[in-house]
Structure 1
Amino acid sequence: MELNAFNTPESLKTLMVNILNPSDNKTIYDPVAGSGGLLIKALKYSKTTIEGSEGNEIINRIAQLGNMNLIMNGLKRYEIEPKDCFEKINDIKQYDYIIADLPINGFINSVEHYMLYNQYNLNPPRSGRSFASFILFILSKLKLDGKAVFTVSESFLTSQGKEKEIRKLLIERDLLESVISLPMGALLPYTNAKASLLVINKGKSPNLFNKVKFIKAKALDFNKKSNVIDSEEVIKSYLNDSEYSKNSQIIPNENLRNLILSADAYDDEYFISNLMLKEGTGKLLSDLVQIKSGTQPDRNDLSEHGELVLVKIENLSKEILDINLSKDIIHGVNNIEKYYKHIISEDCILVARIGDYLKPTIYRHSEYNKSILIHSNVYALIPSKKRVEFDLEYLYYQLHATFILEQIKSKKVGSVMPYITISNLGQLVVPFVSLENQEQFVNTQKANLIAAERARLEEKSKELGYIEEIEEKELNIVRTITHQLKHQLTGLSTVLSKIQAISTKNNLGELKEYDKDDPRLKVNPGFEKPENENFEETLNKAIKKTDTVNIILRDVEKAIILNLEFSEIKLLDLFNEIKKEYNQKAFSIEITGNNPLIDISKSHFEDLINTLIENAEEHSFEGIKKPKITFNIKTDLTRGIIIIDYKNNGSPLTINEKEYKSILTKSIKSKGTGIGGYYINKIIEAHKGILKIEENLTSGVHFIIEIPIKQIENE
């Protein structure tokens, strides 16, 4: 029986020990032994290991548990020493086998780590966590023909910097025998992070000299708590000498792309793209473009009317038809000289660094947008004049092609939020043809997209009548229920008012349900104190709840039944009229901008403005020293719209735009009915307008409302 406090999943232990395959009378070492589960499995597999097999565990209590575990498994002559394995750097002792399930975040570099780097003539990193020093430690502790199996994060296999230097060392010394890609969730229930096994073998077989075997492990069973690996299939692939099989490939060291060691990088697409590169029918993306990274501007430099537009990931295209960067970006930046390295002035393609999709978007230098600043989660693919000439739209459509998408999928790293590195992005292989054929490809893509969009719109038109009919039926049901409930609640409110009058007249308010000495009022451990409110308190609660339901029904009815009556109104004048009603409030309202003559339903627009102001007062301004609301009105004659920019400096929204616009959706802290946002959006939509909400703010609220200057019905 094993008493592991931090236990490597059983199927992973089985796989690691079988890959290690320790011979009899050899020493085994686990430098991060924990409570000993992996070491015990290896020792039992070997059966006749010699003295000297051992483990290390930095936490004393866990080491004690591990030693108890060894004793209970009949292995009392072995020990897990309670110390940091890196304290053994100067110890000359070496081992035949090393096995370890490493912390997924790597190790913090320390003085001992620097000694290791010096030992291998490498410059140590300045700071941070990595697997690099641990791998050097393993190399120093393996005998001349020793073998090691251990886990690493997927990012170690693809990252630049020190990790890449270590990968280079392993390849140049021909020490890496195999990389086994574990399925997502292989380390559950402790983490869902993607990991791989590295097999280092100082005595690897001749058929693998100057080569690396890549294996993809599959899951036999998966749930939220565990992931059972198909160890038998992996071991078959590991022992198989064939160059290529269903789940494994043997790759010569010289064919390793940019020293990337992720097994996902060497799949079917790899062989196809490799062939394309050899035949000249494909080009690496890094040969076509310069890839430029973005930056995270200082918060104080952010401004809507900044010197330069800031392009964030949410500004990139959401679908293939949105080919060009939108002009309606509300983020701006000042002090641009600080960010000159990340300013883009050339025609290029912008792509997302994080997320499942690249969201390619073409930026074109123009009088409107002479330059842009890209955010840290955005890359710019800038065509290099010194490199191969190509059509920007050709690359745009290729980045949407299945062949490229599959490559991107295999090159993403990160478990919680997938991302792609500049190195991995540059390794994408793009099908390459002459400029004439590129133009034909672009025209074909456009024709296909237009045809597909027409078909979609025709199908939508057929459904539209049916959908509108269903929506109208649903609204009728809501109207009927609202009407009936209002009638019943009015009667209930009247009855409660009569009961309250009777109670007051007969002094019944102090009566309680239980007497003071009633055993039911006894407070039992683990239970809440029983309620024993008096008659007046209970009645007031009932009246309050009835009033709340009445308010909800009133707001629902108001939001559903919009009888708009349009007239020409000077908008700035209307805002200033409404502002006067709040002059005595504890918050200030600032109104600036144009005074356009616009077609609106005045009563509904007054409701919209009042709702925005009252929502800010009730839900945003608690604890704010100088609460302020601003409205700025702008006219965009080219688009025939007015733009209302609304801000307040209170607490930010804790729900997203979609939730805000939904009926009866509100934040946990809100004391409202959940109708306000839905009602505001309904008024805007009824004016054929659009409501945009800036999400994920750390403070304040920011809305953009766009309304046509003229309503079609009035023209």
Structure 2
Amino acid sequence: MLKVKDDVSADLPLTYVGKMTQQQLEKHLWDAADILRGKIDSADFKHYIFGLLFFKRLCDVWEEEYEERLKLYQDAQLASDPEEHRFHIPPGAFWNDIRKHSTNIGEHLNAAFRAIEDANTRLRGVFQDVDFNNKERFPDATLELLLQHFSKHRLRNCDVEADILGDAYEYLISKFADDAGKKGGEFYTPKMVTRLIVSCLQPDEGMTIYDPTCGSGGMLLEAVNYLKRQGKNPKSLQLYAQEMNLNTWAICEMNLFLHDIDDAFILRGDTLRQPKHLVAEGSKVLRTFDRVLANPPFSLKNWGDEAWKNGDQFSRDTYGCPPKSYGDLAFVQHMIASLNQTGKLGVILPHGILFRGGTEAKIRQGILQDDLIEAVIGLAPNLFYGTGIPACVLIINKQKEAKRRGKVLFVNGAEEMVEGKNQNTLSEANVGRLAKAFLAFADEEIASTQAVIDQTRKVKQGLLQQLFTRNKYNKVEDTYNITKYSLHFLDEVAQRVTGHTPNRKKPEYWDGEIKWVSLQDSAALDRVYIYKTAAEISEEGIRNSSAVKHPKGTVVLSRDAGVGKSAIMTDEMAVSQHFIGWICGSELNNHYLYYWLQHMKPVFERIAIGNTIKTIGMPFFKSLKIPVPPMEIQVQIANTLLSQDQQIFSAEEELEQLSIIKRGLIQDLLRGLVRVGVTP
């Protein structure tokens, strides 16, 4: 039940005390802004409303602490001792002291603010840019209305818990960002975007958290809230940040104080020109952290390239100096330099950093080569204040898990949003799906595709064993026993052919139109067919060497280096002396021969000799025998195995496309041409 505070002077308006709901508090604070609407620019509301709110909270909590200690100690002097209070309020600087004045209210407010700053080192600068002593902007009548409004509710801890007041303060920040439009992006990042980044970074107890462009402090607070949701101790976090804008820095400080966070290190200054978090005062070595997260200004111009182009004194230009008009990758490099050896970072960036050329391309290449980028999460359009351009979240990890090394995950969140009239937002479901895609790293599609490949390979190997070792070919109704068919020398049922290398000193023998199979093509073998070769020779090269053109359908096998690898020619081709081939006639099907050679590959590998390059001598092939069933059975065996290979190749191609999306190491991906979707 609400009751009237009994210690208010009779000439002051009544103050209602008692628990306030989140909604009541939010409305109360927003109504205060309405008093100033039309009198000053909406972009400036926040400094004055936040200043008065913070002042009122400080005074009310001091009174609460005083009453508790007076009851405990029964000593007014001891109860008012500065050591007994979170923040000290000097005599004459209380809220009720200001309420006693009806003229020059702004002057008295300013004096109270300065007195509180002087009495509390931790609050130095918090009220610095809040100036109520301008009667054209703040006549006494306007200030009287504001003070009357804030006096309606008491803001002690027993009335408004720190989390509720802090959340209401963040609500006010978001409302002011709405009002400020483009300028709102300078101090506020939408809460659910911040939650997405923190969910991906997964901060834990005892970690150091750093935001180099902290704005109003939302990312630091989300790290705190993340631990609360996990049932862990948020007080164990060590929070660090830097902010260049004085007003925004003050908002951040108040935001943290109102959330009952006193021990954060929020420093003022230009992060790129004068980073403040160093290992020691005067040092040129950056302090490093467990988690770094930020929403720096997009494509900042005149960001400080003059201090980088001849070598950054803080050694942050490892990958190069970004162009003068785009500071995005300067912030990224600062954040990388601020990570410890096991650290992770998450940063919001415009899509342009994925594909812009010049020095930015070189910087990207260096970061990729060092295998630091873990993921790029594309975001829906129009989520941020002041810009509708597409943005993404870049996740960097100094210590990737083994399964993620050499890979970059691309997540397409372009459709993950709740559409709004003026601005889109992310819901908890949107954030959950995007974070899950990152944390899982491999979706069900990839897992199922790999499972298909593995299972089909097992089936194929089983068939090879069944057909050529157990000597059975099982069909639904028939069983063929290959052992009942006689063995033939391979040379009796197929024409053996060899090859040669034309003189390499004769350029006219090369770069013709005849495909020439050599050891360079080893990777293209064992996939049933060979379609193209690394080198081609000319007709003149054929005429003036022992090289021979072999017809389409010839089965070739490597007898050197990649011993036992084979393939079927899809065109007329020649081969080098490292290969042997067979042209099949009416007695032997070339696909049957290919799969029989695949079955024999372990034998070929076992008998190959040589210390440096393994090879199989020609006499072995002259004595090689093969079972030759009727052509119908040969075709059935070949088709059975070919169907397995086709399934494997199709699945491998699908997996490669998915892997390309996951790795993101191809230029096309960096240009944003391919994305992986997120499904509910």
- Common fold: TM-score over 0.5: no
Structure of greater relative contact order (alpha carbons < 8 Å, 6+ residues apart): 2
Answer with 1 or 2: which has the greater Rg.
2
Q: Which structure: greater strand fraction? A: 1
Q: TM-score range by the shorter chain?
A: 0.3 to 0.5
TM-score, normalising length: structure 2: 0.35
Q: Give the TM-score taking structure 1 as reference length.
A: 0.34
